[in-house]
A and B are shown apart, each in its own frame.
Chain A
Amino acid sequence: MNAPATEANQAGRYLLRPAQAGDLPGLLRLASQRAIGISSLPLQRDALRERIESSALAFASDDAPSGDETYLFVLEDRAAAGELIGTAGIAAAAGFHDRFYAYRNEFVVQASTALGARNRIHTLHLCHDLTGVTLLTGFHIQVDHAHTLAPQLLSRGRLMFIAAHPERFSERIAAENPGIADDSGRCPFWDAVGRRFFGMDTAAAEALAGGRTHKNWIAELLPQSPIYVPLLPEEAQWSLGQLHPVGELPFGILMDEGFDGDNYVNVFDGGPTADSRVALLKTVAGRRRVRASLRRVESAVSTGWQLVARPGREDFRATVLPRGTGRSVVLGEDEALALGVAAGEWLDVAPLEAAAAADGPA
Chain B
Amino acid sequence: MSTGLVVRHVQEHDLPTVQAWLRPGMARDLPSTGAEAPEQWLLVAHEGGAALACLRLRRAIGLDLPRHWYHVGCVVHAAAELGLVHRMHTLQLGNDLTGASELADVAWDRQALDLPGSARVLSHLLGAALQRLAGDRPGPTARLIVELPGLRDAQGRSPFWEGLGRHFYDADPVAAALRFGSAWCSHVAALLPRQPVYTSFLCDAAQAAVAQVDPAARVLMDLLWQAGLRYAHHVCIDDGGPVFECATDLVVAPAA
Contact = CB atoms under 8 A, between A and B. Distances in A.
Nearest to A205: B82
A209 B167 CA distance: 34
Interface stretch (A116-124, A163-171, A269-277): A116-124
A185 B113 CA distance: 59
**Chain B interface size range:** 20 to 34
B193 interface: yes
A interface, over-half SS: mixed
A349 B13 CA distance: 92
Given A110-B190, A111-B191, A208 B171 contact: no
A112 to B, nearest CB: 4
B136 interface: no
Contacts of B167: 228, 230-231
Contacts of A123: 195
A197 B87 CA distance: 9
A115 B187 contact: yes
Given A111-B191, A115-B188, A226-B195, A198 B84 contact: yes
B70 to A, nearest CB: 13
A228 B82 CA distance: 27
Q: How large is the interface on A (under 10, 10 to 19, 20 to 34, 35 or more residues)?
A: 20 to 34
Contact of B77 (A197, A214, A228): A197
B77 A119 contact: no
A338 interface: no
A227 to B, nearest CB: 7
Contacts of A121: 168, 193
A239 to B, nearest CB: 16
Contact of B195 (A218, A222, A225, A230): A225
Interface of B: 75, 77, 79, 81-82, 84, 86, 88, 90, 164, 167-169, 171, 176, 180, 183-184, 187-188, 190-198, 200-202
Given A112-B190, A115-B188, A209-B82, 18 more contacts: A108-B194, A110-B168, A110-B191, A115-B169, A115-B187, A117-B169, A121-B168, A123-B195, A197-B88, A208-B82, A217-B82, A218-B79, A220-B79, A222-B77, A223-B77, A225-B195, A231-B197, A231-B202
